[in-house]
Amino acid sequence: MFKLDTVKAHCDVPCGIYDTSAAQIAALSVIRMVDLINAAEKGDDEAAYLNNMARYIAVKEQEAVKCKEEIRIIWGDFIKPNHVEEHKDVHTITHNIMMLAGAAKQHTSRDKAMELLAEVNKFAEIFWAIKGVETKVVKAPYMPGEDVVNPVL
């Protein structure tokens, strides 16, 4: 039907659309859920407490997995050997994100969740540098209001 001799693509779907913001939002969501878990009080309504706790935990788990997935896709589909030569710590940062997101699933440590966001921000700096886009650090405009690395558009 199609008489193509050669087709080339750098990823599964050659859209060329990559962005670290979804991973950053996921990391922020992990922090927010940890904050809600740690602030929750049982009170008189144990059922409501258990319901809220189950929801917070489920979202924390989902967002940690989403963070890993978003970074894994960029690392696997976008980062090339020449990028690694320029940014020698990108593999270590990626590995740290995978480990910290796993720790976020296992624990309710705000410190670990903050470390996750810090590593995702380091990855974002590298990503945007590769794209030739200047970045700035801004406060997220929603809870938990932590710093994120954004492109200057």
User: pLDDT at position 53, please?
Assistant: 97
User: pLDDT at position 10, please?
Assistant: 47
For 138, the 3-state DSSP assignment is: strand
- Positions in the chain short of pLDDT 70: 1-2, 4-15
C-alpha 40 chain-centroid distance = 25
Q: Which amino acid is at 45?
A: D
Whether the CB-CB separation of 90 and 101 falls below 8 Å is answered with: no
User: pLDDT at position 1, please?
Assistant: 61
User: pLDDT at position 16, please?
Assistant: 74
User: pLDDT at position 107, please?
Assistant: 95
- Residue 126 tokens, joined: 């590298």
Domain 21-151 superfamily per CATH: Nickel-containing superoxide dismutase (1.20.120.400)
Spell out the domain ranges in the chain. Answer: 21-151
User: pLDDT at position 15, please?
Assistant: 65
DSSP assignment letter at 56 = H
User: pLDDT at position 4, please?
Assistant: 67
Whether the CB-CB separation of 77 and 11 falls below 8 Å is answered with: yes
With pLDDT > 90 as the criterion, what percentage of the chain qualifies? 89
